[in-house]
Amino acid sequence: MARIPEMILGILGGVLGAILSLVVLVTGGLFQALFGIDLIVYLAITVLILSAAGIICSLLVNFFPRVMGVILILLGIAIFVCLPLISLPITALFIAAGIMALVRE
């Protein structure tokens, strides 16, 4: 069965996550330059890596729906842990794609 909605939700979440991480990376770079706080830069790089992994998982959801569903849910939770307040839409997209991959037949 074609799992196009899961792919669309995952790719959309990955692209939004990448854009968000780049915005946070620039903002974190300013904070690092002004105040010496560099933790947000590392969190933004982590979100960028997790978003790329989410795009890859959403492309593979047709072949391994159960495994990729679990991985998408875990990626959504990990992104929420890295950037809690501003990553809620990305987390919701990844978790929705993961649950849809798990329950759809």
pLDDT band at 75 (very low <50, low <70, confident <90, very high): very high
pLDDT at 1 over 70: no
- Does residue 78 surpass a pLDDT of 90? yes
Q: Is the pLDDT of residue 38 over 90?
A: no
State the DSSP H helix or E strand holding residue 52, giving kind and residue range, or none if neither: helix 39-59
Q: Count up the domains in the chain and report the number.
A: 1
Reply yes or no on whether the pLDDT at 49 is more than 70: yes
Provide the domain limits for residue 80: 4-103
Span 36-45, average pLDDT? 83
Comparing C-alpha atoms, which of 72, 26, 69, 70 is closest to residue 51?
Answer: 72
Could you tell me the pTM of the whole model? 0.88
Estimate the crossing angle of helix 65-82 against helix 39-59, to 10 degrees.
160
